[in-house]
Structure 1
Amino acid sequence: MFGIEEEAVSRSRLDAYAGGGGRTIDTAPMYADGLGEEVIGRWLADQRPAVPREDWQIISKVCHPEDGRSRVRPDVIRAEVAGSLRRLRTDYLDAVLLHRDDPDVPVNAITDTLLELHDRGTVRQLGVSNWSAGRLADFADAVAPLKPIASYQFSLAVPTGPIWPDTRHVTADVLEVVVERGLCLQGWTALARGWFAGRNPDDRTGIDRKLLLLFDTPANRAAREVVFSIARKRDVAPIAVALSWMLSASLDVHAVLAPRSAEQLRECFGGLEFTLTSAEWAELSRAAGVTSVPGPASERVRG
């Protein structure tokens, strides 16, 4: 809601996040037509020098479609990166991701542009979102030895279709590329639109009900039951259980979260502190029917 809600409210959210140890912010020029990045930029500037820029990981995503039309072009990449730098009041971005893919654009045209920005020092890490496994592999090979980010919808719950047009959930073939090439996996909608935060798809008043219904399947209901059962037994929030499952996978995986309250934020941080046993992790995977995600390497894991 940054750039839409009152700036004082956004600042209080950022203050709570930073106070809990948060140091990564995921944003994009298309959020509130750039106003979201302006709010973040002003807040970040006010943190200095007590919290220097180097302490933060700032990610921006570019080339979001406009009126259903692809904007994956070198000129758009350059222009949107420049705009993000200006709005965020920084000389560099820790990572830049493409919001979508355009299969008609050769991979090398995209990677050449991103590598140019990397070589200038304005972008430190590169990534793509919602690409097919084949295109992702080609991208990773083209930017090697850099370790790119692969960004997809990823959680214990698998949606029945795209959450937004041309978006993708992590599939077995994508995971194979991630594992083989040692990529960083960024999982957005990590709590399945609130599915694991207790939101009820039968509640017709929810603003995201149509999106939430994409997760309303027998397997996802079974997974949610196990999540809530473990949460009750271990006296933790269900959010912590669902996040621990995701973060405990044998992957370099990171969760993108959008808590709507201070309480949800605290529960999200709880996912970093809560530990699942390997048996609990396996029970959750079986309930959800998720078999391609590699499990934790040790008997007891840390989220």
Structure 2
Amino acid sequence: MQQRQLGQHGPVVSALGLGCMGMSDFYGGRDDAESIATLHAALEQGVTLIDTADMYGPHTNEELVGRAIAGHRERVFLATKFGVVRSADPHARAVNGRPEYVRAAVEGSLKRLNVDTIDLYYQHRIDPDVPVEDTVGAMAELVSAGKVRYLGLSEASPDTLRRAHAIHPITALQMEYSLWSRDAEQAMLATCRELGVGFVAYSPLGRGFLTGAIRSPEDFADDDFRRHNPRFMGDNFRHNLTLVDKVRALAEQKGVRPAQLALAWVLAQGDDIVPIFGTKRRQYLQDNLGALEVSLSAQELTEINSVFSPEAVAGARYGEAGMRTVGR
């Protein structure tokens, strides 16, 4: 397994990580036995970075990951997140960054994961009503107490990252980044590199769209959140599908799968970037790990970028409410 360092002074982890959200939530259907088998297969292949969050399920994904890593803790670099609060309304979200919430949230995650220490603890979304200095100050207390090893932020703005990093070193910034989500290139990647903060790219396969397997909105289960995502709706879907078909053609020319090409593109954007792809099936795990063997020339990267330029994508990456929570 290839490895990469998270930030200038951070830990070394597998070059590809496994995101576990879809095993329990958002993408329709669940098969805990297959998900646990997939997690075990990932560990066998040398994947060390395992990513979850308390809001996935909610809570059930951390419990699932906890069962899967039991007896394998020494092989896992475990990341989880706090700060997004869900209610009985499946579409409602609140954000909480108050220090007392931080202290309560970590205890819940430790219990569900059945571990003594979380390797990387992210603030999932920035609370606009709480200074980030207060939130990160409480997170730093968790490091001192031995409950957390490293701190991270997710979907923060460059200014917020600077302010947080001044309170306690931030090891990783997590943000959506893929061929069809290039917002990080505007300022976030440069800020991370300036500060020596690692960059973890989530949804590097465009929520599965870049695999080429999704051909119609009807491919989604009724409870799949992508049905309500602007990029997967109406004319946006049809337009974006033409882009995916072009990427699929490039992958066929190279003799690789579209998912492997998409992941290889993210890996090629810098050795300081660690993509975490999500899957709940062993079959797709093996396909995705094959991206580590795909090398893209400068000419190939130019060709891919010309097909899938940032301005070519139709639709926002979240609905209106979701977009208000990113870049804070």
1:279 to 299, 306, 320: 299
Q: Check 1:39–1:261 CA distance in 2 against 1; reply closer, same or farther (3 A cut).
A: closer
Q: Distance in 1 between matches of 2:94 and 2:310?
A: 33
The residue type equivalent to 1:279 in the other structure is Q
Partner Cα separation in structure 1 for residue 76 and residue 310 of structure 2? 33
User: 1:197 deviation in Å?
Assistant: 0.7
> Cα–Cα, structure 1 residues 174 and 59, in superposed 2: closer, same or farther, change >3 Å?
same
Determine which of 181, 194, 200 is the counterpart of 2:195.
181
- Mapped to 1, the partners of 2:228 and 2:185 lie a distance apart of 22
Aligned to 1:158: 181
Secondary structure of the residue that 2:184 maps to in structure 1? coil
- Residue number among 180, 191, 216 corresponding to 2:205 in the alignment: 191
Q: How does 1:162-173 map to 2 (within 5 A)?
A: 169-173=183-187
Query: 1:201·1:213 contact (CA, 8 Å) conserved in 2?
Result: no
Q: Which moved more, 1:111-120 or 1:221-230?
A: 221-230
Secondary structure at the counterpart of residue 128 of structure 1: strand
Q: Give the counterpart of 1:264 among 273, 281, 284.
A: 284
Which residues of structure 1 form unaligned runs of 5+? 160-168, 292-303
For the residues of structure 2 that align with 1:3 and 1:193, how far apart are their CA atoms?
Answer: 15
Please say if residues 156 and 223 of structure 1, whose CA atoms lie closer than 8 Å, have aligned partners that are also in contact. no
Work out whether 1:231 is the aligned partner of 2:245.
no
Which whole-Å CA distance do the structure 2 matches of 1:154 and 1:231 have between them?
19
Match of 1:126 among 151, 160, 164: 151
TM-score norm. by structure 1 comes to: 0.81
Change (3 A) 1:2 1:222: closer
Letter in 2 for 1:125: Y
Q: Which has the higher contact order (CA 8 A, sep 6+)?
A: 2
Which structure 2 residue ranges, 5 or more long, are not aligned?
1-21, 87-91, 312-328
Residue 192 of structure 1 and its aligned partner are, at CA, apart by 0.6
CA distance 1:147–1:129, change in 2 (3 Å): closer
TM-score under structure 2 length normalisation: 0.76
8 Å contact kept, 1:97–1:128: yes
Letter in 2 for 1:255: P
Matched, 1:242 2:262: yes
Whether the 8 Å CA contact 1:201–1:216 is kept in 2: the answer is no
Whether the 8 Å CA contact 1:37–1:84 is kept in 2: the answer is: yes
Q: How many residues align?
A: 274
Aligned equivalent of 2:10: none
What is the distance in 1 between the residues matched to 2:263 and 2:123?
25
Secondary structure of 2:218's match?
coil
What is the Cα deviation at residue 222 of structure 1?
6.5
For the structure 1 residues 276 and 11, does the alpha-carbon distance in structure 2 shift closer, same or farther, using more than 3 Å as the test?
Answer: same
Instruction: For residue 180 of structure 1, report the CA deviation from its aligned partner.
Output: 1.4
Among 232, 247, 263, the residue aligned to 1:213 = 232
One-letter code of the match for 2:276? V
The equivalent residue for 1:163 is: none
**What is the deviation of 1:183?**
1.5
Q: Name the % identity.
A: 28
State the one-letter code of the partner of 1:77: V
The reply on whether 1:85 has 2:105 as its aligned counterpart is: no
Comparing both structures, which one devotes a greater share of its residues to strand? Answer: 2
1:96 aligns with 2:121: yes
Whole-angstrom distance in 2 between the partners of 1:178 and 1:222: 33
Partners of 2:212 and 2:245 within 8 A in 1: no
